[in-house]
Amino acid sequence: MAEFIMELNDEQKEVRDWIHGFAADVMRPAAAEWDEREETPWPVIQEAAKIGIYSLDFYAQQYFDPTGLGIPMAMEELFWGDAGIALSIVGTGLAAVGVLANGTEEQIGTWIPQMYGTPDDVKVAAFCSSEPDAGSDVASMRTRAVYDEAADEWVLNGTKTWATNGGIANVHVVVAVVDAELGSKGHASFIVPPNTPGLSQGQKFQKHGIRASHTAEVVLEDVRIPGSCLLGGKQKLDERLARARERAKAGGGERVKNAAMATFEASRPAVGAMAVGTARAAYEEALEYAKTREQFGRPIIDNQGVAFQLADMRTSIDAARLLVWRASWMAVNGKPFTAAEGSQSKLFASETAKKVTAQAVQILGGNGFTREYPVERMHRDAAIYTIFEGTSEIQRLVIARTLSGMPIR
């Protein structure tokens, strides 16, 4: 087990500086344009692929960093550059984590490379879990997967929503119900290969923030996929469902986590790191502005009202980063989240990003309210962190349940 440390080693610092350079030189100059266009920034993704940031190898290296700090360090720097473009670059990672968390070695080796493509022909992937009537309430999921034993195929029907890269992805990972009587325990994840008939893009959403990231509905109409596209395989699924049924009969709780929750649990510290990156970017803009903007003959940072805000902003950012690093280290070293540390990190970092970006707008005053200054965009982008991959309310519920052992509702 790697020792928990609070400082990056020399190799990690080199990687951090490399990513920071890309974020500063490529992402930031393009951020306002792609925010206005509300389109996937394919040229920027391709540039990331050419230098190796958008690749399976890069994320594998960070994912298997024994300190656990590789992924949060990378996320923080990319989202410091721009949240919308960064989400377009890392959105594929959620689908990849879904395969890593639930798939066999063969499935991992087959499908994850197809999610990224090549530097000359970049691809993206989508993780499809939320539905119009089932966001945080995963037990209300309606998308169904029915096994056709004669053909050894699964047939999927339903509508997914809020899917990053939904409809434009090369590979879709879809969570569906296989046994409705088991509620959320009767879910499974499936790979929908490229160009599968019956899968189409529904509504594309025009969003308040992260507008360079494509978000849309995914419609599944009699989508037939090979039996081998069930993540983990049918034998493993049948065994898990049998255990769930037995526990249900006995009146006990099923401890095996469903496919969607396994993916979200693994990604929560990474989302916290994204929020830290956005918060840090807004703080740095506000600090520089406060040092150079003069009112009444002196820089506005000379006023305690401004200086104390900046002090609080920096303190909250550093605290959020430490929570993220702790959860990331625990996850990679197999330490259980006995106090819901993953949810703690996501909750605190998300709320910090919203607060810090709002304070940055306030410090810049009227200028902060205009699109001529990036804090306006950062403030819009930060709103998503308390919503996606588990709202702040859901994180508090997870934490409270974990601490108390009670079925708090």
DSSP string covering 121-172: EE--EEEE--BTTBSS-GGG---EEEEETTTTEEEEEEEEEEEETTTT-SEE
Residue 327: which pLDDT band, with cuts at 50, 70 and 90?
Answer: very high
Mean pLDDT within 109-130: 96
What's the rounded Cα separation, in Å, for the pair 263 and 188?
A: 12
Mean pLDDT within 350-355: 98
Is residue 255 predicted with pLDDT exceeding 70? no
Give the class (CATH, top level) of 125-250.
mainly beta
At 223 the pLDDT is: 98
Is residue 389 predicted with pLDDT exceeding 90? no
Sign of the alpha-carbon torsion through 171, 342, 349, 403: positive
Element (H, E) at 253: none
At 261 the pLDDT is: 58
Is residue 180 predicted with pLDDT exceeding 50? yes
Domain boundaries, the chain: 10-122, 125-250, 259-404
Assign domain 10-122 to its CATH superfamily: Acyl-CoA dehydrogenase/oxidase, N-terminal domain (1.10.540.10)
Residue 404: which pLDDT band, with cuts at 50, 70 and 90?
Answer: very high
Q: Supply 267's token pair.
A: 């990604």
Is residue 260 predicted with pLDDT exceeding 90? no
Rounded to two decimals, the pTM is: 0.93
The CATH number assigned to the domain with range 259-404 reads: 1.20.140.10
Give catalytic residues, as residue numbers.
389
Mean pLDDT within 318-338: 95
Element (H, E) at 252: none
Between these two residues, 321 and 254, which has the higher pLDDT value?
A: 321
Q: Are the C-beta atoms of residues 262 and 101 closer than 8 Å to each other?
A: yes
At 28 the pLDDT is: 98
Is residue 256 predicted with pLDDT exceeding 50? no
Mean pLDDT within 292-319: 97
